[in-house]
Amino acid sequence: MWKIPTLSLQTQQAFVVDELREYVSDASEMICDGATVAFPTETVYGLGADARNSDAVAQIFAAKGRPADNPLIVHIASQEQLGSFVMGVNEWEQQLIDQFWPGPLTLILPVKADALSPLVTAGLTTVGVRIPEHPVALALLAECNVPVAAPSANRSGKPSPTQAKHVWEDLHGRINGIVDGGAANVGVESTVVEVVDDMLYILRPGGITSEQLQAALPQAKIRFSKQSDKDAPKSPGVKYAHYAPNGQLQLVTGATSEEVVAFINKSVVQARKHGEKTAVLAYSEMLPFYKADRCFDIGARNNPEQGAQQLYDVLRQCDAQGIDRIWAEYPPEGGLHEALRNRLFKAAAAHLIDLS
């Protein structure tokens, strides 16, 4: 068990709690008292507050600098808690719950009027809900026994936090506590889905893949919901810049990996002429071929799980090392690669170069 740096509710001073039970109790008490506490989940760290308490939820938006029209995901420890704030669950939704909870799947469900702070839902008639699969999160949520609103615990627009120190970097002094449960196992956020008639819309790709969803619901038509898709449900968060490092990130894809390497190395030479510090995010097998100031290994190309675990930390390392220009190999389609493509595309503000 790591030492757990926490900020006390009363003093805002750092202190250390080294017993898991003690710190979970502390954090749960703080949340019930209307404080904001960051805690680990299997995807990324969340910044939690009592979802029924508008003052507490307002502190989440203030600490993150999050636009008020971007609703928050609500976290619970057990399905029994759903009834207190959700109108109902249909057959497909129940099948998804049975199959994927606890886990990295967020369902958009109809919310009961006045059951949650209107800030959580940003005025929508639906709410995003999940049961996370992390022992610390589950213990905390069970002890609070209230629905806990928890967006990723980063400053809005920055890479999400996969370690407690990332939360500290972004939110230290702005929130009331952090519980440190080590590095997040999945590393990218939950998949956000909405069932509409015979369609299952993926509003945000994440830890559960479309292939897994299709296997669970063979009769469903699955569609990735795009901002340009006028009939599809929207995730308000999708329109905002996200996950961005300070340096300029460019994604590169091509018919062959040699072509991609040649392009990136040429760009690195150019950038260095202008005195810029360069970095490349590359799959393990391609790493030796790059000539940037820093080359970050994001795992084997056929192992997107590794890439997901590394991505946000690597983007933060680029910032810590004052990198001006970053190039990344654009991941292939399918499976967990989709979540990586989505996060990288946003982090790069859509700067994608296709050489093929």
Q: Summarize as ranges the residues that interact with ligand TXA (CB under 6 A).
A: 41, 43-44, 46, 70-73, 104, 106, 108, 121, 124, 126-128, 132, 150-152, 189-190, 192, 203-204, 235-238
Least distance from ligand TXA to the Cβ atom of residue 42, Å: 8
106's contact among Mg ion, ligand TXA, none, with CB below 5 to 8 A by partner kind, is ligand TXA
As measured in angstroms, the least distance from the Cβ of 356 to ligand TXA is: 31
Paired with 354 in beta bridges are: 253
Nearer to Mg ion, 71 or 147 (CB): 71
Q: For 231-249, b where at least 16 C-beta lie within 10 A, e where not — what string? A: ebbbbebbeeebbbbebbb
- Whole-number Å distance between alpha carbons of 356 and 353: 9
Query: Nearest residue to ligand TXA, using CB?
Result: 237
- Residues 335, 337, 341, 344: is their CA dihedral positive or negative? positive
Distance CA 170, CA 315 (A): 14
The residue (of 187 and 331) whose beta carbon lies closer to ligand TXA is 187
Residue with smallest beta-carbon separation from Mg ion: 152
CA distances for 160 relative to 2, 60, 224, 229, 349, angstroms: 21, 15, 22, 26, 16
- Identify which of residues 124 and 262 has a Cβ nearer to ligand TXA in the complex: 124
- The number of C-alpha atoms within 13 Å of 284 and in the hemisphere containing its C-beta is 9
Kindly calculate the radius of gyration of the chain based on its CA atoms and give it in whole angstroms. 20
Among Mg ion, ligand TXA, none, residue 99 binds (CB under 5-8 Å by kind): none
Q: Write the single-letter amino acid at 225.
A: S
User: Would you list the DSSP string of 340-351?
Assistant: HHHHHHHHTTT-
- Binding partner at 81 among ligand TXA, Mg ion, none, C-beta below 5 to 8 Å by kind: none
| Nearer to Mg ion (CB atom), residue 58 or residue 216 | 58
152: contact with Mg ion by CB under 5 A:
yes
- Report the nearest approach of ligand TXA to the CB of residue 332 (Å): 23
User: Which of residues 41 and 152 has its CB atom nearest to Mg ion in the complex?
Assistant: 152
Task: Pick between residue 179 and residue 264 the one whose CB is nearest to ligand TXA.
Answer: 179
Least distance in angstroms from the C-beta of 313 to Mg ion: 15
162 binds Mg ion (CB under 5 A): no
> From CA 239, how far away is CA 16, in angstroms rounded?
39
Six token digits for residue 242? 């996200």
Contact partner at residue 108 from Mg ion, ligand TXA, none, CB < 5 to 8 Å by partner kind: ligand TXA
